Amino acid sequence: MRLSYTGLIALLVLMLASCGNPKELRYFQGEFDTAKLSQVNYSDPVIQAGDVLSIKVYSDDNAAADPYNMISTASGASASTQPNTMMGYEVDNAGYIQMAGLGPLKVSDLTFLQLQGVLDKKFEKLLNHPYYNIRFLNFKITILGDVSRPGTYTFPVQKVSIMDALGMAGDLTIYGKRDNILVVREKDGKREFGRLNLKSPDIFKSEWFYLKQNDMVYVDMLNKKAVTTDQTMRWIGISTSIASMAALIISITSHK
């Protein structure tokens, strides 16, 4: 009997704590005009100082291309203690990388397609039909605030949407503010600030829907979170006292 009363009270406390308006948790509310939202608003990211690039050079004669490729020296026991042995070119503060056989290359403010054009000119007299595999090794997004798993996440691709990032962080908690997601971006030595409303289908049209490398995403909490948490703790305290008293009364009466 003691367990029944205590369990019932605990259940009531949990129900009170979880009460809320389901509409607050829904994404993409309102009219969903697929014709208007079908266009993808995406632009290739540009290379910035601090980025780390993987550049693999190929040609009709790969033996001729090999000297221009960075090779990891980790092997044997050393490799086992360094699981990520892939090496890359770090873009310095002036926007340059040092590439074997080519010297310094200015790569900042270029897309990958533009960098391929620069490499084509460098290799036109050195390799037959050169082509490249270029990607970021440190395309990372920092996600903070009311999400399930805040942290910094590295992505293997460069096309990352706000939904991809929040999915990686385990989605918003029930107290995350869904209509005012902050995105902080550094560009050309300045910070830019964007806002995203997950409740509106128009988010798909936003220039901030696709994130860039090193973006920071912040999810604010609903104002009622602190109030609800405080009220829940009070209910738990009161309910625990009631449960203890009820258990004591039941124990006394059962021995009469």
CATH code (residue 113): 3.30.1950.10
Domain count of the fold of the chain: 3
Q: Are 58 and 131 within one domain?
A: yes
Q: Is residue 143 part of a domain?
A: yes
Q: Is residue 26 part of a domain?
A: no
Identify any residues that bridge with 54 across adjacent strands, giving them in sequence order: 135
Q: Is residue 24 part of a domain?
A: no
C-alpha–C-alpha distance, residues 222 and 145, integer Å: 11
Q: Is residue 184 part of a domain?
A: yes
Are 169 and 147 within 8 A, CB to CB? yes
**pLDDT tens string 62-99:** 899 999 998 754 443 333 333 333 589 999 999 999 99
C-alpha–C-alpha distance, residues 96 and 120, integer Å: 17
Q: Is residue 10 part of a domain?
A: yes
Contacts of 112 (CB under 8 A, 6+ apart): 44, 47, 134, 135, 158
Q: Are 166 and 240 within one domain?
A: no
Q: Is residue 59 part of a domain?
A: yes
Q: Is residue 94 part of a domain?
A: yes
- pLDDT class of 100 with cuts at 50, 70, 90: confident
- The residue among 131, 130, 114, 142 whose CA lies nearest residue 45 is 114
**Collapsed DSSP state (helix, strand, coil) of residue 172:** strand
Contacts of 235 (CB under 8 A, 6+ apart): 13, 16, 17
Token pair for residue 210?
């696709």
Q: Are 161 and 38 within one domain?
A: yes
Q: Are 67 and 192 within one domain?
A: no
DSSP state of 255: T
Q: What is the CATH number of the domain that holds 157?
A: 3.10.560.10
User: pLDDT higher for 154 or 18?
Assistant: 154
Angle at alpha carbon of residue 81, lines to 78 and 85, rounded to 5°: 75
Query: Where in the sequence is the domain holding 73, given as residue range(s)?
Result: 52-136
Q: What is the pLDDT of residue 70?
A: 83
Q: Are 232 and 200 within one domain?
A: no
Q: Are 37 and 143 within one domain?
A: yes
Residue type, 117: G
Last residue of a domain, one of 136, 152, 183: 136
- Number of CB atoms found within 10 A of residue 209's CB: 18
How far is C-alpha 136 from the geometric centre of its chain's CA atoms? 15
Q: Are 37 and 144 within one domain?
A: yes
**pLDDT tens string 227-252:** 554 555 555 566 666 666 666 666 66
Task: Give the 3-state secondary structure of 211-253.
Answer: ECCCCEEEECECCHHHHHHHHHHHHHHHHHHHHHHHHHHHHHH
Q: Are 150 and 207 within one domain?
A: yes
Q: Is residue 157 part of a domain?
A: yes
Q: Of the spans 1-5, 72-76, 223-227, which averages the highest pLDDT? A: 223-227
Contacts of 163 (CB under 8 A, 6+ apart): none
Q: What is the pLDDT of residue 75?
A: 40
Q: Are 198 and 124 within one domain?
A: no
Last residue of a domain, one of 103, 136, 169: 136
Secondary structure (DSSP) of 87-114:
--EEP-TTSEEEETTTEEEE-TT--HHH
Say what angle helices 2-18 and 224-254 make with each other, to 10 degrees. Answer: 170
